[in-house]
Amino acid sequence: MMPELLWPPSIDSAFLERLAARANVASGGSSIPVIAPFDESEIGRVPEAESRDVVKAGVAASVAQESWAATPLSERVAVLSRFHDLVLERADTAIDLIQLEAGKARVPAFEEVYDTAATTRYYIKTGPALLRRKRRATSLPGLTTAYEYHHPVGVVGNITPWNFPFTLAISDIVPALLAGNAVVVKPDEKTPYSALYGAMLLDEAGLPEGLLQVIPGYGEKIGSDLIDQVDFIAFTGSTEVGRALAQQASNRLIASSMELGGKNAAIVMADANLEVAIPGLARAVYANGGQLCLAMERIYVDSRIRDEFTQRFVEHSRSLSVTAEYDFSSKLSSMIDRSHLDAVHAHVEDAVDRGAALLTGGKPRPDVGPLFYEPTVLTDVDDSMALCRGETFGPVVSIYEYEDVDDAIAMANDSDQGLNFSVWTTDNRRGVDVASRLDAGTVGVNDGYAATWSSYDAPMGGMKASGLGRRHGATGLLKFTEAQTVAVQRLVPAFAPPPGMSYERYQRILGPLLKLLRHTPFYK
């Protein structure tokens, strides 16, 4: 019998009502029920945004943005520094809330709260230098001086997913705000409370009123309206939806950044240390129940160690504890809802019906909770099966073997998606070489996802159909700005002869001069 759900200690219905009141939605309309995956009970409701709410939010954000853009950068940094400290001080509450509304095991909930703090810390440390006016080299040093400025784009729209509802909302909001923008965020309707809690913490940190608008709602109803109200759109979600949003954004000639789906692959080389690779890959496969864009769904193993690897990986998968508790005991999250559980199971059933070998798992775990699914390992998967190329987004992985590492690279790259791959070997130099040949935006060597994700100074994003643009690093901040060049000319016009000199003589003088400049350290 399924155990009765106990609410986490820091959360009660009154707290959720206060969060719902933070939504920038007119009262009196429809509301969205929020369902706890651990037992499918309704834990509360948030107001549902309609088109008029989106327009109102966009206008309010635009008004607030004007004064925020004029606010000294040091004051913006101060607000976000206070927010950083509040996230760490209220970490237990944030983790409890994420577990409650997203059905997460505590480890991935912990990861996203501390990831939010780490991302914020990175940008408050590096942002001022990135946004500062910079002097740029010119073709005629001494005669032309050029400066590069970065101005805020205006209002940033942020459509966020349910699988990491706190960090994937807030970690894009932070650099957008730092750059001087306002933000209108539409959290996924399944998990609105996490974004609302982040907004409350930003309010408490001193963020000016109106600058961050939170509009819970259904994407198919208001997603298009949101794009019509903003100057930049950031989206994390499926490739199918991303294509539609990118097309609408391009029609408006506004920029977009999108982290989309992934059919991520790992390559296990013959010299891999299985004591490291087995638990490391299990973490990469089963993190958040596989509901992680960076999770591994394909593992390619050298034929010389394939049998040993497979046996040990299956044994490790079977040993993972699965509970619905607000502690660190469980290694597996619940699926988010009934339709997603059914979709994951349908992928597995289709593969088995078409000849795949099921080595472990392959069924729900209603004894733990109504939406839990067992860690599942398959072999003999081929192109006739839906999960071979389609993203399963659950605790399901397929193991393949290869004879030569070039073949493994080719098989891993044989996908229209390229988000996050990994390579496992004791020869790090060779591992980096193999990693650089993989068509993925990030590749970890002897790590599944955490090393690349937490390298905040490096860009994070997907190749091919896995996305556009990047988060993290300088790009993750500067994408929310418009670059501007201001140049000052002295003494003579640029690319024109001085008064009284003909173009013929100017050409004869300029050619040798430019050749000479090529050998000076000031010329670029």
Give the tens place of pLDDT for each residue, 379-418: 999 999 999 999 999 999 999 999 999 999 999 999 999 9
Q: In sequence order, what DSSP letters do the residues of 70-112 get, joined into one string?
A: HS-HHHHHHHHHHHHHHHHHTHHHHHHHHHHHH---HHHHHHH
Tell whether 66 and 172 lie within a shared domain. Answer: yes
**Mean pLDDT, to the nearest integer, of 14-23?**
98
- Asked if residue 503 belongs to a domain, the reply is yes
For residues 263 and 389, the answer to whether their CB atoms sit within 8 Å is yes
- Chain-centroid distance, C-alpha 311: 33
Give the tens place of pLDDT for each residue, 47-101: 999 999 999 999 999 999 999 999 999 999 999 999 999 999 999 999 999 999 9
Binned at pLDDT 50, 70 and 90, residue 511 comes out as confident
- Asked if residue 487 belongs to a domain, the reply is no
Tell whether 196 and 134 lie within a shared domain. Answer: yes
Confidence check: pLDDT of 1 > 50: no
Tell whether 33 and 170 lie within a shared domain. Answer: yes
Among residues 197, 186, 183, 178, the alpha carbon closest in space to that of 119 is found at: 178
Tell whether 170 and 314 lie within a shared domain. Answer: no
Tell whether 238 and 334 lie within a shared domain. Answer: no
Give the tens place of pLDDT for each residue, 247-275: 999 999 999 999 999 999 999 999 999 99
Tell whether 63 and 116 lie within a shared domain. Answer: yes
Q: Can you give the pLDDT at residue 142?
A: 82
Give the tens place of pLDDT for each residue, 473-496: 999 999 999 999 999 998 888 888
Binned at pLDDT 50, 70 and 90, residue 4 comes out as low
Give percent above pLDDT 90 in the chain. 90
388 in catalytic set: no
pTM for the whole thing?
0.95
Give bridge partners of residue 397 from the DSSP assignment.
377
For residues 163 and 167, give the distance between their C-alpha atoms in angstroms, rounded to a whole number.
10
Specify the range with the lowest mean pLDDT, choosing from 139-153, 214-228, 350-364, 453-467. 139-153
Among residues 219, 212, 181, 220, the alpha carbon closest in space to that of 196 is found at: 212
Q: Can you give the pLDDT at residue 5?
A: 59
Average pLDDT, whole number, for the chain?
95
Tell whether 244 and 340 lie within a shared domain. Answer: no
How big is the CA angle at 399 (ends 393 and 403), to the nearest 5 degrees?
140
- Asked if residue 2 belongs to a domain, the reply is no
Q: Can you give the pLDDT at residue 512?
A: 86
User: Which long-range contacts does 471-478 make (Cβ < 8 Å, 24+ apart)?
Assistant: 471/171, 471/172, 471/257, 471/259, 472/119, 472/122, 474/126, 474/130, 476/123, 476/172, 476/175, 477/123, 477/126, 477/127, 477/130, 477/131, 477/175, 477/178, 477/179, 478/130, 478/150, 478/179
Cβ neighbours for 407, distance < 8 A, ≥ 6 positions apart: none
Confidence check: pLDDT of 523 > 80: no
- Asked if residue 59 belongs to a domain, the reply is yes
Q: Can you give the pLDDT at residue 2?
A: 46
- Chain-centroid distance, C-alpha 176: 14
Which member of 50, 112, 189, 293 is catalytic? 293
- Asked if residue 469 belongs to a domain, the reply is no
- With the CA atoms of 430, 433, 435 and 439 taken in that order, what torsion angle do they form, in degrees rounded to the nearest 10? -150
- Asked if residue 155 belongs to a domain, the reply is yes
- Asked if residue 468 belongs to a domain, the reply is no
Domain limits at 450? 264-461
Binned at pLDDT 50, 70 and 90, residue 472 comes out as very high
Tell me the backbone φ, ψ of residue 202, rounded to 5 degrees.
Answer: -65, -40
Q: Can you give the pLDDT at residue 498?
A: 84
Q: Can you give the pLDDT at residue 32?
A: 98
Tell whether 158 and 268 lie within a shared domain. Answer: no
C-alpha radius of gyration, the chain, whole number:
26
Report the domain count for the chain.
Answer: 3
Burial class (CB in 10 A: 0-12, 13-18, 19+), 279: middle
For residues 182 and 355, the answer to whether their CB atoms sit within 8 Å is no
The continuous run of DSSP H or E covering 301 comes out as: strand 296-302
Tell whether 279 and 315 lie within a shared domain. Answer: yes
Q: Can you give the pLDDT at residue 515?
A: 81
Q: Can you give the pLDDT at residue 27?
A: 76
Give the tens place of pLDDT for each residue, 180-211: 999 999 999 999 999 999 999 999 999 999 99
Tell whether 151 and 295 lie within a shared domain. Answer: no
CATH number at residue 340: 3.40.309.10
- Asked if residue 53 belongs to a domain, the reply is yes
Helical H segments across 287-389, by residue range: 306-319, 338-353, 386-389
Tell whether 42 and 59 lie within a shared domain. Answer: yes
Which member of 101, 259, 297, 374 is catalytic? 259
Q: Can you give the pLDDT at residue 6?
A: 73
Cβ neighbours for 463, distance < 8 A, ≥ 6 positions apart: 418, 419, 439, 440, 441
**Mean pLDDT, to the nearest integer, of 313-330?**
95
Tell whether 380 and 274 lie within a shared domain. Answer: yes
